[in-house]
A and B are shown apart, each in its own frame.
Chain A
Amino acid sequence: MKIYLKPSALILFIALLLLSCRSDSQDNPRAYVEGKVISATVDYNKFLLKISSESTMVAETMLASDGNFKLSGPIGKNGFDIVSTEKIKTFSTDKTGLQITSDGFKIRVPAGISYIKFNEIVLEK
Chain B
Amino acid sequence: MRIFIVLMLLVSTTAYSQKKRKGLDVVSNIDVKVLAMKPLGNNSLAKDLQPFYGFGFGGNLMTPINFGVGLDYSELFSNVKYGSQNLYGNLGSPRMTVFDFFLTHRENISEDFMVEEMAGFSYYRYTNLYLDKSEKLKDHAMGFNLGGKAIYTLDGPQQVFAALKANFYYGNVYNENTQIQKYYSRSTFLSLSLGYRYNF
On A, residues with C-beta under 8 Å from B are: 2-4, 6-7, 10-11, 13-15, 17-18, 20-22, 24-32, 51, 56-62, 69-74, 113-115
Contacts and interface: CB of A to CB of B under 8 A. Distances in A.
B190 interface: no
A113 B176 contact: yes
A21 B140 contact: yes
A60 B90 contact: yes
A58 B133 CA distance: 10
Interface stretch (B49-57, B62-70, B109-117, B191-199): B62-70
Nearest to A3: B63
A36 to B, nearest CB: 15
B160 interface: no
Contacts of B172: 25-28
A61 to B, nearest CB: 4
19 contacts: A6-B17, A10-B10, A13-B10, A14-B101, A17-B3, A18-B142, A20-B2, A21-B3, A28-B173, A30-B174, A56-B133, A58-B130, A60-B85, A61-B85, A69-B86, A70-B87, A71-B86, A74-B137, A114-B176
Nearest to B64: A3
Given A20-B2, A30-B184, A114 B174 contact: yes
Given A14-B101, A21-B123, A72-B180, 18 more contacts: A3-B24, A3-B63, A7-B67, A10-B69, A10-B101, A14-B10, A14-B121, A15-B121, A25-B172, A26-B172, A29-B174, A30-B175, A32-B177, A60-B86, A61-B86, A62-B86, A72-B89, A114-B174
B65 A30 contact: no
B73 interface: no
A73 B175 contact: no
Contacts of A59: 85-86, 89-90
A3 B68 CA distance: 9
Interface string B146-183: 00000000000000000000000001111111001000
Interface string B82-100: 0001111111000000000
B8 interface: no
A43 to B, nearest CB: 18
A39 B133 CA distance: 32
B65 A3 contact: yes
Nearest to B68: A7
Nearest to B61: A6
B2 to A, nearest CB: 7
Given A29-B174, A70-B86, A114-B175, A17 B6 contact: yes
